[in-house]
Amino acid sequence: MRKFLVILLTLSMVFSMFGCGGGTDEVSDEGTAEPSDISVAFIPKLTGNSFFESANLGAQDIAEEVGFECAYTGNPEASVANQVQVINSAVQQGFSALAISSVTPDGLNNALKAAKEAGLKIVCWDSDVQNDMRSLHVAQGTPEQLGEMLVEMAAMQMTDEQKQSAKYCWHYSSATVTDQNSWQVAGEKYIKETYPGWVNVAPDNYYSGQDAEKAVSVGESILKTYPDIDAIICNDSTALPGQAQAAENLGLSGKDVIITGFCTPNGMRDFCKNGTVPVFGLWDCKVQGAMGAYLAYWLAAGNEFKVGDTIDIPTIGEVEVLPNTVLDPKAYTADDSGVVLLPERTIFTKDNIDDYNF
């Protein structure tokens, strides 16, 4: 079987990409509060999903290392109403900070504004909110990096003929999830530039609402509606295993249809090894969880930053605070609102999947 390379994108490469020339200032982490006095509410889009459970492991590890409290609090159903309730509860319980992966770009604004007014520091990880509603966002990468990665994971499995005229579609959570939509938009742009002969058979996309059962039923619908489809790109960690299960339910394998996207190795191990999904990818969500939790703690401890500063995260290293415009050229800009990027992303195959456990 063809061996695929692990993609390791270092932060230094990212910095050079965005022209972050000149020096940066490292800010100290000598906050005014003791770690034990700080409590962080670590909020996923939903509980019970392998991605978010793994991110929480990273958050708990760094909380234990540093000495602050980190409470994993969420709901098994991903919805705006549920996240609003979780945020309001965290405020009422007196948490110092929120580290949240949002289900919506702006639907949490009122709850987050109330949290800020109550003195809580707000950091996002995985999926962002309106930029003036939080201080920092821990991003997986830029939309361009992730959109291209998704497309190339499909393309690398195609024959030369398929690369000329592939039929494909996108299957992910919803039209209102900031991160996944930005990757899809960037991926579509990359396809038009690199594979102009490809045809998107469902331009309105397929959505399964981060519901595991719905992901299977939507996945079966795609395969039945388009029996000659070449590739299905699932930029969502619930949609990808659901789409894989749908293929297996219909007696299909990776030789019949290319299914790829983002999910944890633990969530896709069997599908990868049996050939249903030979190639997929992600980033280390434990590292992302640790970064989100730590930065929320760091701000709550009394530390401040400005865009261009570097922050030293224990066990991870220094990260630079980049402007919000690295993710969206039209984004809100301010010295006290920025983005930090994860150091790497990885492609998983049967040859390397057992090297990872998250």
* Cβ within 8 Å of residue 110, ≥6 positions away: 84
d(CA 161, CA 346): 27
pLDDT tens, position by position, 217-266 = 999 999 999 999 999 999 999 999 999 999 999 999 999 999 999 999 99
Q: What is the mean pLDDT of residues 192-208?
A: 98
Q: Which of 298, 297, 280, 295 is nearest to 243 (CA)?
A: 280
Rounded Cα distance between 285 and 345, Å, is 10
The answer to whether residue 1 scores a pLDDT higher than 90 is no
Task: Please give the Cα distance from 238 to 211 (Å, whole number).
Answer: 7
**Fold topology of 11-141+284-355:** Rossmann fold (3.40.50)
Residue in this structure with the two tokens 């190339």, named with its chain if needed: 152
Q: Is it the case that residue 15 has pLDDT exceeding 90?
A: no
**Which segments of the chain belong to CATH 3.40.50.2300?**
11-141+284-355, 143-280
In this structure, which amino acid lies at residue 310? T
Cα distance from N-terminal residue to C-terminal residue, the chain = 25
In this prediction, residue 306 has a pLDDT band, given cuts at 50, 70 and 90, of very high
Please give the pLDDT value at position 30. Answer: 58
φ/ψ of residue 249, rounded to 5: -60, -30
Residue 109 pLDDT > 50: yes
pLDDT digits (tens, 9 = 90+) for 56-108: 999 999 999 999 999 999 999 999 999 999 999 999 999 999 999 999 999 99
261: alpha, beta or left, given left = phi > 0 and alpha = psi -120 to 50? Answer: left
pLDDT tens digits for range 117-161? 999 999 999 999 999 999 999 999 999 999 999 999 999 999 999
Contact 315, 327 (CB under 8 A): no
Taking residues 35-48, what's their average pLDDT? Answer: 97
Give the contacts of 261 (CB within 8 A, at least 6 positions apart).
150, 153, 171, 172, 233, 234, 235, 236, 239, 240, 243, 280, 281
Task: Reply yes or no on whether the pLDDT at 8 is more than 90.
Answer: no
Q: Would you place residue 33 in the very low, low, confident or very high pLDDT band (cuts 50, 70, 90)?
A: confident
How does strand 206-207 pair with strand 136-139? unpaired
DSSP state, 33? S
Q: Which amino acid is present at 60?
A: Q
pLDDT recorded at residue 28: 53
Pairing of strands 317-320, 310-313: antiparallel
Domain 143-280 has CATH 2.40.30.10: no
d(CA 259, CA 160): 17
Residues of the chain with pLDDT > 70, as a percent, come to 91
CA distance 348 to 268: 10
The model's confidence at residue 17, banded by pLDDT at 50, 70 and 90, is very low
